[in-house]
Structure 1
């Protein structure tokens, strides 16, 4: 699966949020504020994971393998990824 620009931008935003959290911690800011930011990062990562999983499922159906056995394996693999979420 290719990584599109939308996902890369979301990852970069989450990375920036993590750097901000590190700065907050080094500045000894309030625990509540840090936890709020950590929750926002977790939500962002969860969203990215959902987007990637759904794009993978869509790819399984829009670009099926010619061999039915291989297609079934692609779908099983995609379903396992969703179960891990």
Structure 2
């Protein structure tokens, strides 16, 4: 997971620019590189799963690989959620924008549907 230093950097990473449609996240390079590395690994896992299906590999083995891939995606989601909570949400609440809480609840519901 992220180090305390990475989390401190994430605290200031997300911000709102003039209006909701302009919002962007700005992750520290180390955190961004970590997420890209994880996503590249997931991409490789997906290609491997596709190959397993093409080769008629035993279903249970494919399911095991799918579970590992989902776990890897979840780890990226956790990093993003942590940064979002400690950065974007805190900042917007500090600005008096409580709509961020409704947005966060919808996001958490999406994550929990998995």
TM-score (norm 2): 0.61
Q: 1:72 to 1:33 in 2, by over 3 A?
A: same
Q: Gaps spanning 5+ residues in structure 1: where?
A: none
1:54 Cα deviation after fit: 1.3
For the residue of structure 1 that corresponds to 2:85, the secondary structure is helix
C-alpha RMSD of the superposition: 1.9
TM-score (norm 1): 0.78
1:66 Cα deviation after fit: 6.0
1:78 Cα deviation after fit: 2.7
> Does 2:52 align with 1:24?
yes
Following superposition, which runs of at least 4 residues in structure 1 exceed 4 angstroms of deviation? Answer: none
1:24 Cα deviation after fit: 1.0
Q: Gaps spanning 5+ residues in structure 2: where?
A: 1-24
User: Which structure carries more helix by proportion?
Assistant: 1
